[in-house]
Amino acid sequence: MDVTQTVPATQFDALRTRALYAGILGVVGCAAGFVLDPGNAFRAWLIAFLLFLGISLGCMALMMIQHLSGGAWGIFRRIFEAASRTLPLLAMLFVPVLFGMGYLYPWTHADLVQHDKILQHKALYLNTPFFIVRAVIYLTGWSVLSMVLNRLSLRQDSGDASVNLPLQRVSGAGLVFYALTVTFAGIDWIMSLNPHWYSTLFGFLIIAGQGLAGLSFTVIIAALLMPNEPVEGWLKPNNFHDLGKLMFAFVMLWAYLNFSQYLLYYAANLPEETPYMIVRTSHGWEFLALFLVAFYFAVPFLLLLSRDRKRNPKRLLMVAGWLLFMRYADLFMMVSPEFASNGANLHAHAGEGEHVSHFFVSWLDGSAVLAVGGLWLWMFFSQLGRRPLFPKGDPYLREALQSSGGH
């Protein structure tokens, strides 16, 4: 089959249907949770939203890097593009977070702000209207950037070589916009759950996690598509080796940034910073912390050292799937320790005595992943089937196919 042909839509029908059914089932469960246990429902929805938003943004960032750097790994660009075109759906899925602001963010409580000098100083930034305005800017900006990049890519496929330079320029500016907005979105949506805490490394941590999530998802989709037409026989071990090396680099980057943050907190010993680490190393959370160190860094690091494993799609698929699960565990660790098991944000009750978060998991955590993930995958497979799986206008496609043994 010609790799420049569009994949028949029927090839993804079964996956799209299953994803949609799973999404509907998850939405029903979350709807019940919003009534019966709203605190946990909104917390779980936020974590699931951040997971799939990270995949979309990570893929879009990888796409822009590929436009700037070139290279044979652009053979996976259609997966990057399809994931980036899910951003308008994610903008809609952010609406429940807005409705749950009172449960999630303590700075939305006027009575608490009146008795907290730190929140009073931050009120110019941490207030509901400005929070919503910033969220609209982030989500709209990401969606517009994705739309521009995808339209230029479509023109490139039609044989218009004049778009190569604009693609690079948009990608360069887009990476700057991405880095800035992701940093501030991380501050708004995660860091402000505990408004007394701050970290100057947090934006880099979010970017590293999204890059790893995007790469892991790309490996999974590419490995699943490999045995089928029109990809069969075109993707080779060299192609997966490229992604495996990038995954290895991002695993080390994530570990380096987390260790640097922990070391700086330990050395500075500031009252605004240390409680964040103390709560995550006690009351059951320490086991999750050790689990992350072992299975989000140490084990993947050792597995990805192997050249043969990086070149074997089936083995790399298992590593990628595990890393995607660990990305969820990482986000769970960022968000959930700020809440009690009943879903109440501990910092919203700081004046009512000592509150400690013990490790907990709610059934709504699974429902939220099913809801957001099902709808997201439905949109992703819908988008993936709309264009040829190989970017025929990419100036590096010939090099990519030749290096992998194609023609």
Q: What is the DSSP letter of 388?
A: B
- Average pLDDT, rounded, for the chain: 90
CA angle 134, 137, 139 (to 5 degrees): 110
| Span between the terminal Cα atoms of the chain, in Å | 13
Residue 331 has what pLDDT?
A: 98
306-323: b (≥16 Cβ within 10 Å) or e: eeebbbbbebbbebbebb
By the 8 A CB rule, do 139 and 90 touch?
A: yes
User: Rounded CA gap, 42 and 342, in Å?
Assistant: 12
Q: Give the H or E element holding residue 83.
A: helix 77-84
In sequence order, what are the beta bridge partners of 345?
A: 339
Domain boundaries, the chain: 9-403
What are the 10-residue block averages of pLDDT along the chain, 407 residues in total?
51 87 97 96 98 98 92 84 97 97 94 91 95 98 97 87 90 97 97 92 96 96 77 76 94 96 89 89 95 97 95 94 97 96 83 70 97 97 85 73 52
Residue 229 has what pLDDT?
A: 64
